Structure formats: structure tokens, C-alpha cells
């Protein structure tokens, strides 16, 4: 589905570039996609090609604003070409896993980690264009951040013409869907060359991760369709129908074309330049027709300046044709609504839509049913709900290749002899070329449910860590802790946690086949300081309790910031600051500025910092004895 971008994409933008001399408008652009027919893609590499390698093995040099990497997932400022993110050994937990946006299973797409600085995704200079011609510049884009993930910046892509921003996609939604963004513009008088650019337009930060595919630059024209009279199948040697071009335009030039291979190769029809064309073919077969259209005859000759009409399929059936068929004993062949199951020659007439008759001769041969024996085996799924169970053919006797391997009603394409399945009961078939078969009902069992278990709820002292040791009954491919605050590793199955406040951590684990389980643990935090302050000491040099010495937990109390000792009148007799906590600290040796302290009671104030950065103060008194 073609879509406009966010907000502004429903409004029409009129934009003018002016040439240096005279200030005449060169082109006009509007933020709508083409509503008529399109030409062939001038960006021949806009779909990034295809290949069997999961990651394209060499630098394609497509994104001058980013670094190409073979290591996936790409880091900030990097990009890669890939055909299937689900085959990566690791994907960021917030990213979705997708293939490219095409029916080709090996088709490549561009995956960009554009987190921080703006950069150019794609840039190309197009020459030999036609002036006064409408073009469409578009691209398919998907936000790689999964639904429900918060705190991530949405991508925003700018489309530039000759280094000037003409259109922006707006914020690309986090909906796990591909969207087509683009605009149309009309080239100016005498304009035959243009530079087109896609650029990252979102601010830096977490997110702004996207995939791009099907970058397209095409001529855009009026709606162009074809009608045929009479319609339906045409009999060989009959009067052939007339094709009529319907073009939503008053003037222009066209060229009819035909294809014999379902549209892979097209050939011009000599003299086919009028709005109508009468088919003039004698042999039976299936033919395809279309026409090229442009606003002038000269532009029609330039592939960058013309559009392609819709395609029409025309089938010409033979007046007489022979069907030779060999089938297995017990099977039948349908001809004209009649089932035939014995060896013989049969005839029937088929009536085409235009009323002409076709004579069909069936030469049917019935062969004995051989004793085909197929040996099948199966494997259970790796975990409950997965689709990686299998049914395989070990051996086949009683017939010779070629034979067909079939599960239920689905034929397994050769040379495969194994198929991946979810748990369930299936019918496995081996059929020879005549339809003789052996079949077996096979039950594919489900694997065990994925079960993970982390530690039980517990309480820790502020500043201390706990190992969130998580076990699993199955191999884990990917795991994620949420929230990640206070964790050494948020995507490890087991990790150290050092929360400063009570926190519930939830771990989500997934096997390679997609089975998921969740567990959680609540960690309470004892925020009381772990510090021991004595109330008496005897500074008499007898090596016993000679100092005012405190003990504390260095993980809990990270530093002693200030220690002040006061006499009974409030005077400061000792002061220290910025003491590194090693567990035990000598804060006062019992001396004053005027000599040893007299026996008696003294007041202290100790300021210190806790593991979470909070400041604490302890006040009290200590007695000096001799």
C-alpha cells in the first residue's frame, strides 16, 4: 500500500528551484505519490539486488554517510545489506526480525543504525532525462524498533533534489510495517540531469534504526489501461479481437508491445502506434500485451521518459489438440466433466467464450499399481509451539524416480526429502509419475515447554550485588532483562544486579525456534548504613584501643567526607576530610592542638557518602579514658 508520511503528507507542497540566471523555475514538486501509471525504475539497483549470502559480502558503496559492515547488527553510523534478519546470530532486543520487502526470499534490503549523526543513505545522479516530464521519487521504509518499546527516537528521512530538501517522511511509526514515502515533481524546461538523495533527518540518541528497500525513481503518467473485444479465450484461426488503449490524457504517443514469456521480455509491435490494435496471431498459446506511453514521440524513445500501461493476457486455444495421459490403476482422468478410468481414446468438444468449438482427443493409458513402499521418519519440535519438527523420507522402494514427496495437500519441491513442521498429525505421500502412491499417517510430537527460573525474591544491603542466576531447560538464543537499570548485562541469561532501590526485574528468554518464557525477581534494598562507631577509647599507647576508630562496609559507605571532634564547649579539636574508606578508619588519636586530650566526653560529627550517592551524617559522643 502506498502511503504519505505523517501530517504534512496529506497536504500539497509547491516548491520552486531557481536557476542562477533569470530566476526561472526549474521544477515543481508536490508531496503525493503518482496516481497514474509508472515507468520502469530508473534506479536499477534501488531494490539492492538478491543473493544467497545472508549479508552482502562486499561493500556496495551505496551510503556515503555511513560505514558498511559485515558484522551484524550494525553499530551506530553503520549499515549492511541483508536478505533476512531472522538468520542473524544476534539482533538488538528492541529490533524486529524481518526479510526484505519483496516476494524474493533472497532479496536484499539496507539496514541502517543511524542513531547519532545525520548521513546520506543513498545518492545518485540521473542523466538523459526529459524536460517538462512528471517523475516520482519514492522509497519503502520500516522502523526497526518493535511495538511497545519506549524511549526510542522515530526515524525521519529527507528526500533531496540537487542537495535541496524537497520532502520529508515525517516520523516513521513504530508499527512493524513497511511504508512507502515519496513525492512527484515535474522537470523544468531544458533540465536533463538531476541528483537525488535520501538522508537521515532525525536527531541523535537511542533509536532512529530503520530498513530501506525499493528505492524508486520513475516517470509518472496518466492512468493507462487496456480493454479487449470480444473478451475471453480465442479459438485458433478465428477472427482475432481488438485491443483498445484507454489513456487519461488528450495527447501523446504510444507503442504496443507483446510478450511470450509472461512479461519477462517485451518486443515492440511494428506499426502498433494507434489507440487500437487488432491481434493477428495464428498459433495457439498465451500472449501478453501492453503499451508504452509518453507525452511526445521523441520522449517515447527514451526509457527514462515513458510509462508502462497495465498488462492484458490473451489466450488462443487450438481447434484440435491431443492429450496423452498415463495414470495409475484405480485413478481417473476428467475430460469435459466425465471421469475416465480405463485404457482408451476419448474425444470431447470444448466451447470457447466466442462460440468456436475445440476438439479434444484423450489418449489414456492405465498402468498397474506397483507395490510402492516409503519409509518415513519424524522429529519432534524443539519446544512447545515451535515449527521446527520434521518429516523426512528415508527410502522409497517399488518405483523409480522421479517421484513426488507430499505432506497433506502440499507438494515438497525436489530435491528436498525433509520438511519442517509444527506439531500435529500429517499424511505423508510418495507418488510416482503416474500417480501411484504409498502414504502414511505420521504424528509429529510437540517438544517440552520452555521453562526458565531465576533467583527467588531477596533483600540485599545497599551497594551490594546479587547474581541473578537464571536456568533454562532448553538452549537460549536471546534473553532480555527489563528494566536494565543496575544490571551488568541486560541481554545475558544470568547477570549481576546492583539496584539502589527496590526493583522487580523481568527476564524474557527465547529459543532459536521462537519459544518464549518469562520469569521475575524482586530485590529489596536495606538502605541503613553499615557502620560501627565506638563510644570509648583509651589513647595511652598500650596498643589496645588507642584510637577513635570506626568500621564500615566499603560497598555500602563509599567515602568518609568529613570528621570533626568537638570539646565540651563546642570548640573543634580535630578535623579530617575526604577519607577513602577501606573498612576501618582511625579518625582521632586523642590529641588536641594543645596536647593530649583530658579524660572526658567529646562530641563527634561524621559526614559520609552512601553507595547510591546520598549524603549521611552521624552525630554522637565518645569518651576518652586513660
- At 17 the pLDDT is 36
- At 399 the pLDDT is 84
- The DSSP letter of residue 86 is G
For the record, the C-alpha cell of 549 comes out as 576508630
Q: In whole angstroms, what is the distance from residue 284 CA to residue 235 CA?
A: 8
Indicate if the pLDDT at residue 6 is higher than 50.
no
Q: In whole angstroms, what is the distance from residue 210 CA to residue 200 CA?
A: 10
Contact 568, 622 (CB under 8 A): no
Q: What is the pLDDT of residues 477-527, one digit of tens each?
A: 889 999 988 999 988 999 999 999 999 999 999 998 889 999 999 999 999
With vertex at residue 79, the alpha carbon angle to CA 74 and CA 85, rounded to the nearest 5 degrees, is 65
Q: In whole angstroms, what is the distance from residue 261 CA to residue 280 CA?
A: 18
Strands (E), 67-187: 67-68, 78-82, 109-113, 120-126, 134-143, 157-161, 164-168, 179-186
Indicate if the pLDDT at residue 286 is higher than 50.
yes
Half-sphere exposure of 536 (CA within 13 A, CB side): 5
- The DSSP letter of residue 41 is -
Beta-carbon contacts of residue 216 (< 8 Å; ≥ 6 apart): 38, 41, 43, 46, 136, 137, 138, 139, 182
**How many residues are there in the chain?**
626
pLDDT band for position 18 (cuts 50, 70, 90): very low
- At 1 the pLDDT is 29
Average pLDDT rounded to a whole number, residues 348-358: 64
Nearest by Cα to 121 from 154, 79, 72, 163: 79
Domains of the chain: 8-219 (2.60.120), 224-317 (2.60.40.10), 320-367 (no CATH), 373-444 (2.60.40.1080), 452-526 (2.60.40.10), 531-624 (2.60.40.1220)
- At 60 the pLDDT is 92
* Cα 4 to Cα 47, 200, 207, 370, distances in angstroms: 20, 18, 22, 62
Q: What is the pLDDT of residues 78-88, one digit of tens each?
A: 999 999 999 99
Nearest by Cα to 208 from 140, 117, 138: 117
- At 203 the pLDDT is 73
Indicate if the pLDDT at residue 354 is higher than 60.
no
Quick check: helix, strand or coil at residue 297? helix
Q: Output the CA torsion 535→539→540→544 (10° steps).
A: 60
Q: In whole angstroms, what is the distance from residue 87 CA to residue 73 CA?
A: 11
Q: Which residue has the higher pLDDT, 453 or 232?
A: 453
pLDDT band for position 23 (cuts 50, 70, 90): very low
Average pLDDT rounded to a whole number, residues 107-114: 94
- At 24 the pLDDT is 36
For the record, the C-alpha cell of 593 comes out as 592542638
Quick check: helix, strand or coil at residue 188? coil
Q: In whole angstroms, what is the distance from residue 144 CA to residue 72 CA?
A: 14
Average pLDDT rounded to a whole number, residues 113-118: 80
- At 322 the pLDDT is 87
Average pLDDT rounded to a whole number, residues 276-281: 88
- At 76 the pLDDT is 87
- At 319 the pLDDT is 77
- At 135 the pLDDT is 95
- At 400 the pLDDT is 82
- At 356 the pLDDT is 58
Residue whose cell numbers read 499424511: 427
Average pLDDT for the chain: 89
Provide, rounded to the nearest whole percent, the portion of the chain with pLDDT above 70: 93
- At 351 the pLDDT is 66
pLDDT band for position 2 (cuts 50, 70, 90): very low
Beta-carbon contacts of residue 341 (< 8 Å; ≥ 6 apart): 330, 331, 332, 333, 366
pLDDT band for position 15 (cuts 50, 70, 90): very low
H-type alpha helices, 443-587: none
Instruction: Name the strand (E) or helix (H) holding 298.
Output: helix 297-300
- At 30 the pLDDT is 64
- At 626 the pLDDT is 83
For the record, the C-alpha cell of 117 comes out as 549523526
**Cross-strand pairs, 425:** 443
First to last CA, the chain: 92
Q: Which residue has the higher pLDDT, 231 or 224?
A: 224
Nearest by Cα to 552 from 576, 528, 578: 528
- At 294 the pLDDT is 95
Q: What is the pLDDT of residues 573-625, one digit of tens each?
A: 999 999 888 888 999 999 999 899 999 999 999 999 999 999 999 999 999 99
- At 219 the pLDDT is 96
Q: What is the pLDDT of residues 534-577, one digit of tens each?
A: 999 999 988 899 999 999 999 999 999 999 999 988 899 999 99
Indicate if the pLDDT at residue 334 is higher than 80.
yes
Q: Which residue has the higher pLDDT, 626 or 299?
A: 299
Q: What is the pLDDT of residues 122-144, one digit of tens each?
A: 999 999 999 889 999 999 999 99
- At 54 the pLDDT is 93
Contact 575, 549 (CB under 8 A): no
Half-sphere exposure of 587 (CA within 13 A, CB side): 33
Q: What is the pLDDT of residues 444-489, one digit of tens each?
A: 999 999 999 999 999 999 999 999 999 999 999 889 999 988 999 9
Contact 122, 197 (CB under 8 A): yes
Residue whose cell numbers read 526510542: 152
Amino acid at each position: 500500500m502506498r502511503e504519505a508520511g505523517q501530517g504534512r503528507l496529506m497536504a500539497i507542497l509547491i516548491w520552486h528551484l531557481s536557476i542562477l540566471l533569470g530566476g526561472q523555475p526549474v521544477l515543481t514538486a508536490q508531496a503525493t505519490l503518482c496516481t497514474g501509471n509508472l515507468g520502469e525504475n530508473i534506479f536499477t539497483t534501488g531494490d539492492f539486488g538478491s543473493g544467497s549470502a545472508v549479508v552482502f559480502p562486499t561493500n556496495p558503496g551505496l551510503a556515503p554517510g555511513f560505514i558498511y559492515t559485515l558484522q551484524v547488527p550494525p553499530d551506530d553510523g553503520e549499515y549492511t545489506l541483508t536478505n533476512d534478519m531472522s538468520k542473524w546470530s544476534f539482533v538488538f532486543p528492541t529490533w524486529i526480525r524481518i526479510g526484505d520487502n519483496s516476494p524474493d526470499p533472497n532479496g536484499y534490503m539496507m539496514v541502517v543504525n543511524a542513531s547519532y549523526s545525520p548521513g546520506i543513505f543513498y545518492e545518485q545522479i540521473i542523466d538523459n532525462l526529459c524536460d517538462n516530464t512528471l517523475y516520482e521519487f519514492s522509497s519503502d521504509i520500516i522502523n526497526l524498533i518493535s511495538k511497545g518499546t519506549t524511549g526510542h527516537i522515530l526515524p525521519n528521512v529527507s528526500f533531496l533534489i540537487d542537495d535541496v530538501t524537497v520532502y520529508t517522511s515525517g516520523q516513521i511509526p513504530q508499527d512493524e510495517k513497511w511504508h512507502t514515502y515519496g513525492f512527484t515533481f515535474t522537470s523544468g524546461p531544458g533540465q536533463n540531469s538531476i541528483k537525488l538523495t535520501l538522508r537521515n533527518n532525525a536527531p541523535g540518541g537511542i533509536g532512529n534504526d530503520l530498513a530501506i528497500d525499493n528505492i524508486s525513481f520513475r516517470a509518472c503518467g496518466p492512468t493507462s489501461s487496456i480493454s479487449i473485444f470480444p473478451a475471453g479465450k480465442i479459438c485458433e484461426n478465428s477472427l482475432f479481437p481488438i485491443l483498445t488503449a484507454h489513456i487519461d490524457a488528450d495527447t501523446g504517443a504510444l507503442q504496443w508491445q507483446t510478450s511470450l514469456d509472461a512479461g519477462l521480455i517485451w518486443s515492440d509491435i511494428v506499426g502498433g502506434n494507434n489507440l487500437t490494435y487488432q491481434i493477428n496471431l495464428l498459433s495457439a498459446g498465451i500472449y501478453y500485451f501492453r503499451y508504452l506511453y509518453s507525452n511526445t514521440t521523441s520522449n517515447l524513445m527514451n526509457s527514462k521518459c515513458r510509462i508502462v500501461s497495465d498488462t492484458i493476457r490473451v489466450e488462443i486455444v487450438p481447434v484440435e489438440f491431443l492429450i496423452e495421459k498415463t495414470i495409475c490403476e484405480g485413478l481417473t482422468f476428467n475430460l469435459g466433466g466425465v471421469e475416465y478410468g480405463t485404457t482408451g481414446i476419448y474425444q470431447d468438444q470444448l466451447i470457447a467464450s466466442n462460440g468456436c468449438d475445440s476438439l479434444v482427443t484423450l489418449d489414456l493409458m492405465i498402468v498397474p499399481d506397483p507395490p510402492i513402499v516409503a519409509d518415513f521418519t519424524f522429529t519432534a519440535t524443539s519446544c512447545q509451539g515451535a515449527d521446527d519438527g520434521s518429516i523426512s523420507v528415508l527410502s522409497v522402494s517399488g518405483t523409480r524416480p522421479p517421484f513426488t514427496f507430499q505432506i497433506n495437500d502440499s507438494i515438497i519441491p525436489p530435491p528436498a526429502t525433509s520438511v519442517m513442521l509444527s506439531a500435529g498429525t500429517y499424511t505423508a505421500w510418495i507418488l510416482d509419475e503416474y500417480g501411484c502412491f504409498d502414504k502414511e499417517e505420521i504424528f509429529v510430537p510437540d517438544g517440552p515447554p520452555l521453562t526458565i527460573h531465576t533467583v527467588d525474591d531477596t533483600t540485599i544491603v545497599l551497594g551490594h550485588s546479587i547474581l541473578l542466576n537464571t536456568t533454562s531447560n532448553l538452549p537460549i538464543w536471546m534473553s532480555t532483562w527489563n528494566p536494565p537499570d543496575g544490571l551488568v548485562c541486560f541481554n545475558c541469561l544470568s547477570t549481576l544486579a546492583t539496584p539502589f532501590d527496590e526493583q522487580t526485574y523481568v527476564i524474557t528468554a527465547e529459543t532459536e525456534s521462537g519459544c518464549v518464557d518469562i520469569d521475575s525477581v524482586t530485590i529489596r534494598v536495606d538502605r541503613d548504613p553499615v557502620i560501627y562507631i565506638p563510644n570509648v577509647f583509651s589513647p595511652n599507647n598500650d596498643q589496645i584501643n588507642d584510637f577513635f576508630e570506626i568500621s564500615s562496609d566499603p560497598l555500602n559507605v563509599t567515602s568518609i567526607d568529613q570528621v570533626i571532634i568537638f570539646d565540651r564547649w563546642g570548640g573543634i579539636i580535630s578535623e579530617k576530610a575526604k577519607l577513602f574508606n577501606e573498612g576501618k578508619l582511625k579518625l582521632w588519636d586523642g590529641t588536641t592542638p594543645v596536647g593530649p586530650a583530658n579524660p572526658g566526653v567529646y562530641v563527634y560529627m561524621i559526614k559520609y557518602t552512601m553507595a547510591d550517592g546520598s549524603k549521611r551524617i552521624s552525630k554522637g559522643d565518645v569518651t576518652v579514658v586513660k
